[in-house]
Structure formats: C-alpha cells, structure tokens
Amino acid sequence: MRLKVMTLNILMGGEERMPLLLALIARENPDVLVLQECLGWEDGERLSQVAASLNLPATEAHVRLGTARPRPSGRRFHVAVASRLPLRSARAHANAHFIGHCLLECELETGAGPLTLFAAHFDSHHETLRFVEARYLRSLLEPAAFGERAFLLAGDLNSLSRADPYPVDLADRVRRARVDKYGHPPRFDVVDDLEGFGWVDTLRLKPGSPQWVTARREREGEVIDFRTDFVFASPSLARRLIAANVVDVGTASDHQALTASFSDA
C-alpha cells in the first residue's frame, strides 16, 4: 500500500485551536500521523477527536499516546500517534537520563512486513542534550536490520540540518535574536549523527516544492527561518519515497506540518 506520513508540533496541547488542527488533519488525511506537545491529552478526549478526523476507531490498535516525563515546570509534552496501519505494539521511552520529552516506538503492520516508527520530540534546550537522545535512538537499532527493513523517525527534533539553505550570517542572526537552543555558532550534531547512521532526510531527498521552513521565529526584531521538523526514513524505505512537503497550517500552530509519501513495497 502507499503510505503518507505527517508530523506536526501542535503547540501546547492545541487548546482553542483544535478545530483548525482537526480540519487540517482531515484535509491532509495521512496514513500515519505523529503529533508533539500533546499537553493535557491524558483523558483521551482530544486523541479520540484526532482518530475521528481520520475515520479511525479510538482504540490501541490505531492510536497511542506516548506519556512524556514531566519537565521542571510539571508539564508533560506527550507525543501521539494515529495510524491506519494496525499498531502491533508501542513502547514509550522517557528515561530522564536520556530523553527530554518522549520517544514513542511503534511497530506497524503493513501487510508486507513490519514497519518501525519512532515518534519523537527531542529536548528543546541544548544540542548536547539532543545528541544524547540521538545516541539513545542509535542504541535501539541493530545496523544490519536497519539497513534491510523499514524504519521511520518523525517529529520535532529541535535540531538543524546543514543541508537546509540557511543564510551565511545565521550565527550572527541567532546571536542578535538571543536564540540559544542551537548553540553559538549553531550546531548540527544531531542531524549529522542521524545521517551518519544511515537515516535519510526525506525533505532533502525529494522535496515536493521549494518550501522548507517549518518554524519561522521572530526575536529581538530578527525574523529567522528554521526547520526543526523531520521525517527520516531507513535506506530501504527511502528508496520508495515519492516526495516530501511542508504543509502550511495557517494559525493552527507555530510549526508547519511535514509530510512524506511512499510508494507500494
């Protein structure tokens, strides 16, 4: 079957923007949806609304909430997955020694062999902490299986790719804007490490349009375009990639969505 994957940081639980988010999800109609910042979703109500927008039953066979560890504020930035493909299993990784929010590992049944999905929301504070998460993810993967089987990594990684067209004065601009999360100068360690292991950045492999920005930020009078949202595929799955696209979400969130579509196996 063809497969469309979408990831979106919904911003602080969605709040009063849920009607916009649900309309966006229904319009894009992904087969696999990954959402970050699902604050306050523990009661299952908003996860059920997401399932309904995709005409899915709100059962563990199709929707899961990855419970994030609490941040110092007490907030839990959960990760959610909704999938047309049956979810054979799901495991939330939220060890405070390795994980900033949550890494939700799901096994999906495709009818042509399993697909392993890692739904991610990496730490928002420092590249060194995110690098620990990238290395933890690496520890979950056996290289030979990764080279042969279908794996996906989708989510807000709060990291930058050196392959994106950042301006030559990016370091000066982030310093003036007092944006510290990427480092001074900005670092690319996480994406470099992921690609070094073999993950393929779908938006860079087959962009469906010139759009690449998923997080435009204005700080201290500086407007800076970033991409921190990614859909990575293992090499065998990347060979089936049709295209990846940034989706304008309007006022539904402060991030744009990212989709990647794959052909039949």
Q: How far apart are CA 43 and CA 245, in angstroms?
A: 32
Domains delineated in the chain: 3-262 (3.60.10.10)
Using DSSP, state whether 110 is helix, strand or coil: coil
Spatial neighbors of 239 by CB under 8 A, at least 6 apart, are: none
Number of other residues whose CB lies within 10 A of the CB of residue 13: 16
Token pair belonging to 35: 């959402």
DSSP-derived letter for residue 234 is -
CB-count exposure of residue 48 (10 Å: 0-12, 13-18, 19+): middle
Which residues have a Cβ under 8 Å from the Cβ of 180 and sit 6 or more positions away? Answer: none
Amino acid making up residue 158: N
With cut-offs at 50, 70 and 90, classify the pLDDT of residue 168.
very high
* Residue 41 reports pLDDT greater than 70: yes
Residue 183 phi, psi dihedral angles, 5° rounding: 95, 165
Q: What is the Cα gyration radius of the chain?
A: 17
Report the predicted TM-score, pTM, of the whole model to 2 decimal places: 0.96
What are 115-131's pLDDT values in tens digits?
999 999 999 999 999 99
Q: What integer pLDDT is reported at residue 111 of this predicted model?
A: 82
Helices (H) and strands (E) in the chain, counts: 8, 14
Residues 196-255 have pLDDT tens digits of 999 999 999 999 999 999 999 999 889 999 999 999 999 999 999 999 999 999 999 999
Q: Is 263 helix (H, G, I), strand (E, B) or coil?
A: coil
